[in-house]
Amino acid sequence: MAIERVAIVGLGLLGGSVGLAIAECLPGVATTGYDADPDVRRRAAERGLAGTVCATPAEAVRDADLALFCVPVGAMEPAARACAEALPPTAIVSDVGSSKASVGEALARALPGRRVIPAHPVAGTERSGPDAGFASLFRQRWCILTPPADADPAAVDALGQFWEALGARVEIMEAAHHDLVLAVTSHIPHLIAYTIVGTASDLEEVTRSEVIKYSAGGFRDFTRIAASDPTMWRDVFLSNRDAVLEMLGRFTEDLTALQRAIRRGDGEALFDLFARTREIRRSIVEQGQDDARPDFGRADHASPARPGSAR
């Protein structure tokens, strides 16, 4: 099964990066694109995020071998419904959303009988919009496919090869397991970042100017994460609420244990935890998922769109 025509619905950071990556890595593949915002469509055409930027979703998907939905997870179902009549029955339907069980169900409802294979490229930055995309976003990043049990193996293989051609490393996983894993590695960290930055902003004992002026490296990293697209993350937490709440419960228990250790002056418990988490950091660097240079190498990277927080 060959993917020769790709329709990209949603031309922000991820959709735009897909279009640019296809142009660089798969120059023989034709791309069409659509975004509900006319200003985004105009800018996407100026940047060449798709070979043809279409005025309607139906026009974009009409001849597609792969229809890739790059919209917030809460918008997946209406976006897919808008394409239902025009989408070829043989097309592969996929997405780039950060939660998978709910998205797979939404796409299946909107496009019954179609080849729906949800996917999640674990890549992103805190920036959003048509100016945020860049072709190298997916290089050496994981793309997790969560095909349903009855998925066509040829379609799964074709989608996996597509992402590998864009530079990603492909993993296949059950949707529910994906959502649990990403709740730990992405969703809860974002929730913590939003909370800490909000708490600092609300403190009565200090002024907002002091929070900004005296920000240490750890707080700056939290603000970078907390600058992520609010619409996207609102939808992620609502669509993956069960896994997020389960992991949030575990985190709350661990935080309570840490609070108890500090109160009791239990330095051994604190040291053991910090030593264990330090090893996790080393493992992440060893696997090429981050940069070991000081300040994560940011001072040496000119582009503000460096791959950073996972979506």
Give per-residue pLDDT as tens, 62-94: 999 999 999 999 999 999 999 999 999 999 999
Would the pLDDT of 114 be above 70? yes
Could you tell me where in the chain the CATH 1.10.3660.10 domains are found? 177-300
Please write the tens of the pLDDT for every residue from 248-277: 898 899 899 999 999 999 999 999 988 888
Would the pLDDT of 291 be above 90? no
Mean pLDDT of 4-12: 97
Q: How far is CA 84 from CA 59, 99, 100, 117, 278, in A?
A: 11, 22, 20, 16, 49
Q: Which has the higher per-residue pLDDT, 196 or 211?
A: 196
What's the rounded Cα separation, in Å, for the pair 299 and 98?
29
Which pLDDT score is estimated for 57? 97
Q: What mean pLDDT value characterizes the chain? A: 87
Contact between 30 and 66 under an 8 Å Cβ cutoff? The reply is: no
Could you tell me where in the chain the CATH 3.40.50.720 domains are found? 5-174
Domain 177-300, second-level architecture: Orthogonal Bundle (1.10)
Q: What is the dihedral of CA 76, 79, 83, 88, to 10 degrees?
A: -20
Which pLDDT score is estimated for 218? 75
What's the rounded Cα separation, in Å, for the pair 214 and 194?
18
DSSP annotation of 168: P
Mean pLDDT of 298-311: 41
Q: 157: pLDDT confidence band, cut at 50, 70 and 90?
A: very high
Which pLDDT score is estimated for 292? 59
Which pLDDT score is estimated for 289? 60
Would the pLDDT of 128 be above 50? yes
Which pLDDT score is estimated for 285? 63
Please write the tens of the pLDDT for every residue from 23-47: 999 999 999 999 999 999 999 999 9
pTM: 0.78
Q: How far is CA 253 from CA 129, 143, 197, in A?
A: 37, 31, 22
Would the pLDDT of 303 be above 50? no
For the chain, percent of residues with pLDDT exceeding 70: 88
Contact between 28 and 44 under an 8 Å Cβ cutoff? The reply is: no
CATH domain 5-174 topology: Rossmann fold (3.40.50)
255, two tokens: 């935080």
